[in-house]
Structure 1
Amino acid sequence: MSGLGSLWRDSAAEIFTARTLQGEFSADLVILGGGFTGLSAALEAAGQGADVILLEAETIGHGGSGRNVGLVNAGLWLPPDAVCATLGQDAGERLNSALGAAPELVFNLIDTHDIQCEPRRNGTLHLAHASKGAADLKKRYDQLAARGAPVSLIDSAETAQRTGAQGFHGALHDARAGTIQPLAYARGLARAAEAAGARIFEQTPVMSAMRHGGQWVVRSSGAKVRAKALLIATNAYHRPLEQMALPQVPTVNFFQLATEPLGDNIAGTILPGGEGCWDSALIMSSLRRDAAGRIILGGMGDESDIQEGWARRKLIRLFPQLANVTITHSWAGKISMTSDHLPKILRLGPQGMSIFGYSGRGIAPGTLFGREAARALLSGDEAGLPVNPVEQHSERFTRLKTAIFETGARMVHGLSVR
């Protein structure tokens, strides 16, 4: 089954291509990384009339944005009280409020720019994988409801009806959220940014970035860009840069497989309301449908025989009617996972920032952080940033943590659902 390829690449209705950058250029803002953060920043900056150049080492959406599950979630993996406990009450509530509204930003951009990315805003279901998970969801519900979020708890019987699967101990429904085709969304943002005047280049890996003569100077093998401001938005797919040392952050692999399109008789019994799902297990799993009626199951771990075997077994355990369906796609991506599970804005110098660490929540936070970073870098006013920039950030034992995540996923998946 390995090497079947990404469903998102094969099904994306949005097409975007760009040439490689060659020569010397100047800009108001240069952006490294063609994912949700960088593209949202490019769209915002170009919309303000700024001269923007975005450089992507591969193709638009090549990294985590194009390998995403496609859940447009509100908030973070952490419950809101935990966010406040880490950041402090005022800063925590500022981030909670901003990210609670972030799905609205995503779906508004989709509507405004007519992005063909299968948007469906029926909410998401956070599934309780065990009784402890149900208790955790009740605590999360209480925290969200106290902040006025449109959330509801559903029992195991209703969860079975809304998923088509037995065995879950209940779920938390969040009406703010939804699903999209993530690579198509990224490409649509690129198209919209280019239409607004941004200059976007693919297959342009940057070799160095430095501050010189009051400007940022970015070099690739065949080009040089001078810019007043710099945004590095490469996240889990960052490549080392000469003259620029960014902190290492542990990464987590996330694997997905997709079935062939299913007929209405079968597909109609699975997630009939169209919600995207993820569960409360430490080694998390995800579940959703696409517009063609494919069932897409994901889990932490790399694209290996162990993960594929686990995913196939779990799919059949959840939905016995899928025992004979064909798996047409399998792919994996990397998640940048900070130690406190909070995204970071690292100050690189005057009018320079790097953003990373969404910990698996890339779509809505990335779109929001990119927009606000562009505004701050162009205006010099950082009041609208969702979190305060930090002057430095360090993570200990990053490679070891990455190895532990992967080993844990393989052990759990190798032993489970046999």
Structure 2
Amino acid sequence: MQNNPLSHGLWEKTAPAPPKTTVLSTAATTEVTIVGGGFTGLSAALHLARKGITSTVLEAVEIGFGASGRNVGLINGGMWVMPDDIPGVLGAEYGEKCLKLLSDAPVVVRDTIDEYAIPCELERNGTLHLAVGAGGVEELDARHRQWVARGAPLERLDADETRRRVGSDAYSGALFDPRAGTLQPLAYVRGLATAAIREGVKIFTNSPVVSADRSGAGWLVKTAGGSVSSKWIIVATDAYSTGPWKIVREEQVHLPYFNLATAPLSDNLRRTILPNREGCWDTKEILSSFRMDQRGRLVFGSVGALRNSGHAIHQSWAKRSLKRLFPQLGNVEFETAWYGKIGMTSDAVPRFHKFDENVIGFSGYNGRGIAPGTTFGKVLASYISGEMNDAGLPLPVSEPKTETFRSVKEAYYEVGAQIAHLADARF
């Protein structure tokens, strides 16, 4: 996108074409204006349409331009925070409610894909959270215990079973989630847009919002070329927010994350590396993730930005890491490379904001955008339709606040990832 191969990499190379859209150039009227063409905004549009509520989506660049089109493609349930800690962050009522909703979120994704026949390389074989060392085993034991107590069907795998499923002896065990899986994220978000358009949703791209003002009993949202009048506004811009709701970006610290993809592996290699095609990530503080795409490319990622000195440092580290993890690969070369920004909140849990009367939005997915984004979009549709009231929301209303020392923290993450990957290459 925007002639930048480092923004969406493999996903742009292999995704179906997006549906045809235009720039907003007229004055329009709808019931709900949705700002942002990612997982949350398009899921909300789709579910509103099913309820007979009209909506118009305004996307600043292209469908899936932000985090939705750049990520690893793991369909994870839950959150980063340990389940037993969530009630202490959100309160007992909201904590358990949110845990239940996001635990089931991968099922919502799969059902949506099935219902609308979205071609997005969906793999239903689950995910593996991989334990590194004794500390990793302790963490996964605790996660397993806490999730199973809440009825989640997670399985703890020992080192031997983990070795069989991953094809590497680098891990001390794993936590297997059979409900989860992987998909091609840009293909999925484009598929949501295609389905929404079929349901009557109007989508305008290259139409950044410049203002939103009260107009009678509703709102007038303006772009450079047109305007939309509506009763409701959904703010679904998250970590890439600009314009009237830039506070959503300012309350998050950007954590850079990159992915590198090999050429398609041979059939022999594919039988020894992730033969069941689970998506994986590990318990390291600076974590790594890996998975296969539909054609057998190994997609490997970690924290860091592929710019300036970071590009060479992270790519060199990735080659060495893959050679240690999977010696059978030999010398690794990468076909594509890309990176994006993960929006991290101060407590690593999402936010629900009421920016003004009838102006609402979820944000702060902390690297887990696919399943929560799809599910929260469905929640927003239920709330606007009146099927859900404030008491039914999965998160409390919170006031957006600028994160202190945000730019310093972001520089620390980017430079720190380079230092860590340089050190890891030497020892």
TM-score (norm 2): 0.94
Does residue 280 of structure 2 align to residue 277 of structure 1?
Answer: yes
Q: 1:374 aligns with which of 356, 362, 381?
A: 381
Render the CA deviation track for 1:262-281: whole Å, top value 9, x for unaligned. 12111111011111001111
The aligned counterpart of 2:155 is 152
Aligned-residue offset at 1:122: 0.9
Which one-letter code corresponds to 2:145 in the other structure? D
Alignment of 1:8-407 (within 5 A): 8-13=11-16, 15-241=18-244, 245-246=247-248, 247-303=250-306, 304-379=311-386, 381-407=389-415
CA distance in 2, matches of 1:326, 1:412: 22
Assess if the C-alpha contact under 8 Å between 1:14 and 1:117 holds in 2. no
Paired AA for residue 378 in structure 2 = R
Which secondary structure state, in structure 2, belongs to the residue aligned with residue 417 of structure 1?
helix
Q: Is the 8 A contact 1:260 1:325 kept in 2?
A: no
Unmatched segments (≥5 aa) in structure 2: none
1:78-101 Cα distance to aligned partner (Å, 9 max, x none): 121111121122211100000011
Sequence identity percentage: 44
SS in 1 for 2:243: coil
CA distance in 1 between counterparts of 2:84 and 2:185 reads 29
> One-letter code of the match for 2:27?
E
SS of the counterpart of 1:6? Answer: helix
- Residue 394 of structure 1, CA deviation: 4.1
Letter in 2 for 1:197: G
Name the amino acid aligned to 1:184.
A
- Equivalent pair of 2:322/2:332 in contact (CA under 8 Å): no
Superimposed CA distance per residue, residues 228-254 of structure 1 (whole angstroms, 9 cap, x where no aligned partner):
000111111111328x75443111111
Deviations 1:167-215 (A, max 9, x none): 2111111111111111111011001111111100111111112333221
Alpha-carbon distance in structure 1 between the residues aligned to 2:17 and 2:127: 24
Does structure 1 retain, via aligned residues, the 8 Å contact 2:323–2:332?
no
C-alpha contact 1:317 1:417 (8 A) present in aligned 2: no
What CA distance in whole angstroms lies between the structure 2 residues aligned with 1:3 and 1:66? 13
Moved more, 276-285 or 383-392: 383-392
State how far apart, in whole Å, the 2-side matches of 1:384 and 1:189 are. Answer: 25
Alpha carbons 1:22, 1:222 under 8 Å: kept: yes
Amino acid at match of 1:64: A
Confirm or deny: 8 A CA contact 1:373 1:385 kept in the other structure.
no
Q: CA deviation at 1:331?
A: 0.3
Listed one character per residue, the Cα deviations across residues 39-68 of structure 1 (whole Å, up to 9, x for unaligned) are 101101111111210011111011100001
1:306-336 CA-to-partner distances (Å, cap 9, x unmatched) read 1112112111111122223431110001111
Q: Distance in 2 between matches of 1:46 and 1:18?
A: 18
Kindly provide the amino acid, as one letter, of the partner of residue 62 in structure 1.
Answer: F
Report the AA paired with residue 195 of structure 1. R
Report deviation, 1:14. 5.4
Amino acid at match of 1:386: P
**What secondary structure does 2:260 align onto?**
strand
The structure richer in helix per residue is 2
Q: Decide whether the 8 Å contact of 2:125 with 2:278 is kept in 1.
A: yes
- Matched residue SS, 2:231: strand
Please, what is the CA RMSD of the aligned residues? 1.7
Q: CA deviation at 1:378?
A: 3.5
Cα-to-partner distance string for 1:128-147 (whole Å, 9 max, x where unaligned): 12211111111111101111
- 1:253-302, CA deviations, whole angstroms, 9 ceiling, x for partnerless residues? 11000000112111111011111001111111111001101100010111
* 2:229 match: secondary structure: strand
Distance 1:392 1:263 in 2: 49
Q: Distance in 2 between matches of 1:135 and 1:417?
A: 26
| 1-structure distance, mates of 2:65, 2:235 | 16
Q: Distance in 2 between matches of 1:272 and 1:210?
A: 54
The one-letter code matched in structure 2 to 1:296 is: V
Partners in 2 of 1:325 and 1:306 — Cα distance? Answer: 15
Native 8 Å contact 2:158 2:174 kept in 1:
yes
Amino acid at match of 2:269: I
Amino acid of the structure 1 residue aligned with 2:210: M
Q: Please say if residues 207 and 221 of structure 1, whose CA atoms lie closer than 8 Å, have aligned partners that are also in contact.
A: yes
CA contact (8 A) 1:208 1:218 kept: yes
Q: Deviations over 1:93-116 (max 9, x none)?
A: 100000011111000000000000
